[in-house]
Amino acid sequence: MIEVLATIILVFLGGGIGSSLRWGVGKAVGKRYHGSFPWGNFAVNITGSFLIGFLATLFLIDWDNRYGTFMIALVITGLLGGYTTFSSYELDTAKLIGKKKTGIAATYWIGSVVAGLIAALAGIFLAGVIR
């Protein structure tokens, strides 16, 4: 029971830190770019995908048991789970569609998936080289 409570606390702490980082990156990018494309969430999701791929490979995380260790709870599930923002990505896409900016919406929607996958693969590759 203590181990479960400790894991929950680590996820909670990591999630708070990750969410704060997401907010900070989004705000910083938003100050520099004021167009229709949601660059802040895009940057967060791509860097988060890279880091998750990199760390999961570097630390040999077995995806059948990815909730089992304190490091995974704090960093992967908590911090990077709080940092990346799939729901905001979906909301951004829906808002662009609602504003009749379907070209930008499609670019963001598909581009985020493709770039996120490439970033995750780059993280996996880089960690494999380092190991």
Helix (H, G, I), strand (E, B) or coil at 118: helix
Q: Which two tokens stand for residue 1?
A: 């029971």
Do the annotations mark residue 81 as ligand-binding? yes
Whole-angstrom distance, CA of residue 59 vs CA of residue 25? 26
Do the annotations mark residue 57 as ligand-binding? no
Task: Give the side-chain half-sphere CA count within 13 A for 85.
Answer: 21
- Which residues line the annotated binding site? 81, 84
Residue stretches of the annotated binding site for Na(+): 81, 84
